[in-house]
Amino acid sequence: MNENNVREKVIEGHKFGGLMLVLTILMYVVSVPGLLISVAGTSSRFRAIAGILALFFLLYLIFGWILFLGLKVLKPGEALVLTLFGKYVGTLKGDGFFFVNPFCTAFNPAAATKLGQSGDIVEPKGHSSVSVTSSGVAVNSESMVSKKISLKVMTLNNSKQKVNDVLGNPVEIAVAVMWRVSDTAKAVFNVDNYKEYLSLQCDSAVRNVVKLYPYDMAENVDTTGDGVADDGSLRGSTEVVVGKIKDEIQSKVADAGLEIVDARITYLAYAPEIAAAMLQRQQAAAIVDARKLIVDGAVGMVEMALDRLDSTKMVDLDDERKAAMVSNLLVVLCGNHDAQPIVNTGNLY
């Protein structure tokens, strides 16, 4: 069978582990007196049968423990991929007490790998050393670990990485990816370590998607690929960005038997080397927008004042006086400080 064409095969009808446990222990209890009785048999008529029974009980006492190797216990959300002398025989799924061929072995090359902040249910047995790879994946060096595969939804939260956006500005971003194993056979046979494979594909997808967007809205930037500039950005189009990241990761890990449930941006900021400059830029833009709003409001108020004076005929102002009044009102309304009033008691002209 070609490993690249392995498909998951669920083993059914093996939930009689409790019965086999009782029978195996009962046979041990029976074998000791049975061996003694068979050896003590002196009747020549039944000596051959007694010899066969004695050999059977003796072999069972020596090799009967092998049956215990076929007992498998699974909790909800767990699975076991079983191989027999290197050949894939099937996957145990569902909670229960199972009995399978004692010579079947569980296979899971990612059993000792634990993802950062994941809900991984695989726990090491005893004390062991742990090393962390560059992708933020912890690898347990202890060989005696559970080979069970978690079918639960788990979270991969890789460390922050620095990526250049579409404008070339370095930004730091971290993405949390919710995933689960959908095909246990593909997960363990199609890739060497499906957890490390997922972690690397997440890093690659984040880089490929982030470089298509500016950090903030920018002019003349096409983020959709339709040739028309739009207002898409990492900060303002979060749902669109994570949707693209999720789709790209899924396309890469489908052959590894993994399903991407969801993705979320957990951290987004300019890189430290340009953060201060970008903050000044944002402050300048905010000041310009505020001044524009103040000027628009001041012009409207001056226009309203002149219209009211003309309509009521309270004061007849020539163009020169109107210009002076407009200048004074704009200074008062647009100034940063409160105006100091001056009372003119003389003639206006």
Quick: pLDDT tens for 68-93: 898 999 999 899 999 999 899 999 99
Q: Using an 8 Å Cβ cutoff, are 287 and 210 in contact?
A: no
Comparison of pLDDT for 335 and 110, the residue scoring more: 110
pLDDT band of residue 159 (cuts 50, 70, 90) is confident
Mapped onto helix, strand or coil, the DSSP state of residue 208 is: helix
**pLDDT over threshold 70, residue 121:** no
Helix (H) or strand (E) holding 51: helix 47-63
pLDDT at 6: 79
**pLDDT over threshold 90, residue 140:** no
pLDDT at 126: 46
pLDDT band of residue 141 (cuts 50, 70, 90) is very low
Q: Using an 8 Å Cβ cutoff, are 64 and 9 in contact?
A: no
pLDDT tens-digit readout, 299-323: 888 888 877 877 777 777 777 777 8
pLDDT at 216: 81
pLDDT at 131: 47
pLDDT band of residue 43 (cuts 50, 70, 90) is low
Q: Using an 8 Å Cβ cutoff, are 271 and 172 in contact?
A: yes
Can you tell me the mean pLDDT for 236-257? 91
Comparison of pLDDT for 21 and 312, the residue scoring more: 21
Can you tell me the mean pLDDT for 185-212? 91
pTM: 0.69
Q: What DSSP designation does 346 have?
A: S
**pLDDT over threshold 70, residue 283:** yes
pLDDT at 103: 92
Q: Using an 8 Å Cβ cutoff, are 131 and 119 in contact?
A: no
pLDDT tens-digit readout, 100-109: 999 999 999 9
What tokens does 2 get? 């070609």
Strongest mean pLDDT among 98-102, 144-148, 274-278: 98-102
Q: Using an 8 Å Cβ cutoff, are 81 and 88 in contact?
A: yes
**pLDDT over threshold 80, residue 269:** yes
Distance CA 136, CA 169 (A): 24
**pLDDT over threshold 70, residue 116:** no
Neighbour tally for 188: CB within 10 Å: 28
pLDDT tens-digit readout, 254-268: 999 999 999 999 998
Of 46-60, 133-147, 233-247, 297-311, the range with the lowest mean pLDDT is 133-147
pLDDT at 339: 64
Q: What is the mean pLDDT of the chain?
A: 80
**pLDDT over threshold 80, residue 274:** no
Please list the alpha-helical segments (H only) found in 1-46. 17-40
Neighbour tally for 12: CB within 10 Å: 10
Whole-number Cα distances in Å, 240 to 76, 121, 162, 208, 215: 34, 32, 20, 14, 13
Query: Smallest Cα–Cα separation from 67: which of 104, 114, 107?
Result: 104
Can you tell me the mean pLDDT for 327-331? 75
pLDDT at 15: 84
Distance CA 153, CA 261 (A): 8
Residues whose CB falls within 8 Å of the CB of residue 159, separated by 6 or more in sequence, listed in order: 116, 136, 174
Q: Using an 8 Å Cβ cutoff, are 194 and 153 in contact?
A: no
Distance CA 16, CA 99 (A): 6
Q: Reduced to 3 DSSP states, what percent helix, strand and coil does the chain have, rounded to the nearest 5?
A: 45, 20, 35
